[in-house]
Amino acid sequence: MSDTRTPAQIEADIISRRQQLALVLDEIGVRVHPKTIVGDAKAKVASTVDRTAGRAFVAVNRSVSDVRAQFVSEDGSPRLERVIPVAVVVVGAVALLTLSKSRGKR
């Protein structure tokens, strides 16, 4: 196999390869630089936190919507058959706590 390239073409290929190698080495240098590594780690942590917070928000929002649906009808009016018993239980619990604290102070 003979090389039919001229010395000038070979020299141009060498220069081109050196430039490509320099670019690759520069890119590697940026990738392994401590600031780049720390920045990438921070970005990954921030992304994970955002994703976790987003999931938590969706779960809480869904729970609140489910509870609200138990006490409010689709047209926005309260479901008295469910609100009144819960209100009675809450008032009773508060009354018991108040009585038990006032008896404990005597």
Question: What pLDDT, on a 0 to 100 scale, did the predictor assign at position 106?
Answer: 61
Tell me the average pLDDT across 73-98.
91
Predicted confidence (pLDDT) at residue 38 exceeds the cutoff of 60: yes
Task: Check: pTM over 0.95? Answer yes or no.
Answer: no
Tell me the average pLDDT across 56-79.
91
Residue 97 pLDDT level (bands cut at 50, 70, 90): very high
Q: What percent of the chain has pLDDT over 90?
A: 67
- Find how far residue 14's CA is from the centre of its chain: 48
CB 71 within 8 A of CB 83: yes
